[in-house]
Copies of this chain bind each other. A is one copy, B any other.
Amino acid sequence: MRLNGLSAFPITPATPAGKVDVAGFRALVARLCAAEVDSVGALGSTGSYPYLTRGERRRALDAALEEIDGRTPVLVGVGALRTDEAVALAQDARAAGAAAGLLAPVSYTPLTDDEVYEHFAVVARESGLPLCIYDNPGVTHFRFGADLVGRLSRVPGVVAVKSPSPAEGDVGGRLAELRSVTSAGFSIGYSGDWNAVEALIAGGEAWYSVVGGLFPRTAMAIVRAIREGDVAEARRLNARLEPLWSLFREFSSLRVIYASASLLGLASAEPPRPILPLAGAARAKVAEVLTGLGLDTEA
C-alpha cells in the first residue's frame, strides 16, 4: 500500500483511568468509513497513543480493524519512549492486521540523528511492519533533516513520511528537495491541517488530518477537489475553514477536536490528564465556529 489521499486521525475515547471506550471509538471509525477516507490513522497524536498502555492500544486497534472490516487500510501509531516498547507495539500492530505503523521518535533525553536512525531500523527489522516516519517536532522535539529522512527511506520497510506542512515559503521546492533525497516509491505526506492543503496542491501524496478524523466529509471534499485538478475549489474550501484553523492554532487541534466531539455528542470522553478539556469561553467559541461552518450538520 502506498499512503495517499486523506488519512483521517480520530480521537480515542477513553475513561479518566485510560480504558478505551471501544464502542465510542468504533462509532468514530464508522464515520470515517462512511465518508470513504483513503486510510484511517488510529492512535496518532490526536488518538493520544502515548497516554495509553500497550494493552489498551491493542484493544483500540482491534476494534478499529473489526469495524473497518477491510474497507480501508489502517495506519497505527506505534511510537514509544523505549525502542523495545516500540518494537513490541509494531509487532502487535502487524499481528492485528494494520497496514502500516506510524513511528515518532518520542523522546525525553534529546536524541541524536544516529539514535533515531537506529531506533527506526530496529523497529522496522524486528516487526516487519511497513513504517511511516512521524515527523512532528511540536510533540517529539526532534527535528528531521532531509538527509536523515533520505537515509531512513532506504531502510527496508520504511515506506513513507508524515512531515509538518511548511507554514510559508517555497512549499513545492521543499517537497522536490525531499523527493530528491528519498528512495523511489517513498510516500511524502503532510500534517498540520491549516497548511496541509497547499502542501497537497504542491504534490504531497497524503494529508494526515486531524479535522478529517471528526469531519471526514469536509476533508474529503478538499482532497477530491485537488484530485480533480480544481485547485481553486480546494483553496476556497480550505479558506472557509479558517475560523477552525484559528482555534487549532490558539488551543491546539487536539483540545479543539475533543471539545467538538463532545459538543456534537459524538464522543463523551475528555483528553487524558494533565490535558484539560476546553471550558467556558473557549468551549463556547468552538461551538460558535462549528455552527458557523455548518460542521454540526456533518455530524
A residues near B (Cβ < 8 Å) are 16-18, 45, 48, 50-51, 81-84, 105-106, 108-112, 114-116, 118-119, 122, 138-139, 141, 252, 254, 271-276
Contacts and interface: CB of A to CB of B under 8 A. Distances in A.
B276 A108 contact: no
Given A50-B108, A141-B141, 13 more contacts: A17-B84, A18-B82, A18-B84, A51-B82, A82-B272, A82-B274, A105-B274, A109-B271, A110-B252, A114-B276, A115-B274, A118-B273, A118-B276
A128 to B, nearest CB: 19
20 contacts: A16-B84, A18-B82, A45-B109, A50-B81, A50-B108, A51-B82, A82-B272, A83-B273, A109-B139, A109-B252, A109-B254, A109-B275, A110-B138, A110-B139, A111-B275, A118-B273, A118-B274, A118-B276, A119-B273, A122-B273
Contact of A273 (B50, B82, B138): B82
B83 A119 contact: no
Contact of A274 (B83, B141, B254): B83
Interface of A is mostly: loop
A252 B18 CA distance: 34
A114 B139 CA distance: 19
Contact of A108 (B82, B106, B118): B106
A136 to B, nearest CB: 10
A81 B141 contact: no
Contacts of A109: 45, 48, 139, 252, 254, 271, 275
Contacts of A112: 276
A111 B17 CA distance: 19
A116 B109 CA distance: 20
Nearest to A271: B109
B275 A45 contact: no
A275 B50 contact: no
Contacts of A81: 50-51
